[in-house]
A and B are shown apart, each in its own frame.
Chain A
């Protein structure tokens, strides 16, 4: 079965814990090499973010667990890359 190499998630989360803390928790996961969180929209109490996770073997369940534990909800999986090679649009 293919290994998840890249994951792009649309997440709604409370403002605390901050995106810095959330990115630290996600980057500590086994198989994750890097995390990028981009703020899309901010409300009084919550914020909508785009989380991009890159790694050699990302465990989706673990990612979901960390996001949920920190109060977030995954609204959608906007992109996923699996397998030995990352496929780009131009390919």
Chain B
């Protein structure tokens, strides 16, 4: 049984322009110790997905349907008191901007001790010991000194390490990281991602990594979800998605990277832009931008414009695309599930 099971999640926002569907029919699972990446551009709904796991969605957002089961307990119907025992304790979260996450008027030690005391009956001295331990685990030099320092006295990279330490304080089962390195320099980003990977592997902590950076996802995660306009459009083993993406959007996203183009030539761009969640096209949300949404004779496909594609299995991946479904059904380009060699 999976550690986290999200099924048919529907999250909506009641705004004055009308109701906006931020997440539509999102489903995924997470096993113990597994590292999952959620990839998408801004407005795709990946942050909403992250916040919903911890039921942090506040008015005017609300969960309109679906279920989130953690350790076989239903989170969507839980009382706030019970949820509080899970948040920070079993499932903890890392946010994007380390300066915003840390309270500027409290020392690091005070914040960490407060976090521990909120969930355990523990004396301050013992709490400080645990905090010190965690700071050592995230390789912070001279941790005793750091406990009495304020956030503004530390660099961005160090702050993010401390945030990871705080996330680990109560030995959670899952860490949800929402764009943890977007605000950091590339050398610091490499350190932080390496640290996160090391800690998750060592302590068997599951990781949900939300990012727009496919390179980061490739380095750290085992499985990946690709989101577009509030829906999951492709999911599967990370290696397969990157090497052999099947959904036209994923292919377009990878091909648009400068890494993939010949230097000096034009980049392969996807025409248009992701629709705003208030105005999602009917049928497949990607169809206005998709070069495959046409029949052989050049006319636009009716199913792409009218019917939301369901998932179809191709290889080890689940893809929500009418064209891929046709290929699989015709068996012309079907992929058999292959053994994925995990990196040692």
A is bound by B: no
